[in-house]
Amino acid sequence: MKYKVIPRKNPQDSNATPKYYAQIVRPESITIEKLSKRIAEISPVSELDTQSVLIAFTKVLPEYFIEGATVQLGDLGYFQASLKSHGAETPEDFTSSLIKGFGVSYRSSSKVKDQYKQVKYTKVIE
């Protein structure tokens, strides 16, 4: 994985000297077309069939998130819906107007986490 080093200011102290942090140098985005082609290379399923399934997957997945479901994807891990809200003093004081956002988070499986340990880092000078 390629990375570069960038300065970042401390948002809590605008007078502090910036510190330097790693940032991924991202390759091109992987499209459904490119993903389908790669999957077809390693499986008996055609590129077009794979693409059709992936497109359907992107349409079905949000339906489950809206229900609040956790979607498990085998050895990849799982996606889980989450809420952001302000707090209330008592349960009776809490109303849906205090809910400020909805999101989806991804959690890697232990098998994928083991693969992450194999990542090799290469510093890029720009």
Q: What is the pLDDT of residues 65-104, one digit of tens each?
A: 999 999 999 999 999 999 999 999 999 999 999 999 999 9
Nearest to 18 by CA among 5, 27, 29: 5
Per the domain annotation, does 78 fall within a domain?
Answer: yes
Q: H-helix or E-strand containing 49?
A: helix 47-67
Determine, yes or no, domain membership for 42.
Answer: no
**pTM (predicted TM-score):** 0.72
Does residue 106 form part of some domain? yes
Q: Which two tokens stand for residue 51?
A: 């693409």
d(CA 58, CA 32) in angstroms, rounded, equals 10
**60, 32, 55: which is closest to 69 by C-alpha?**
60
As given in the structure block, the two tokens for residue 24 are 């991924």
Question: Helix (H, G, I), strand (E, B), or coil: what is residue 113?
Answer: helix
In a domain, 85, yes or no: yes
In a domain, 21, yes or no: no
User: What total number of domains does the chain contain?
Assistant: 1
pLDDT band at 14 (very low <50, low <70, confident <90, very high): confident
Residues spanned by the domain of 95: 68-116
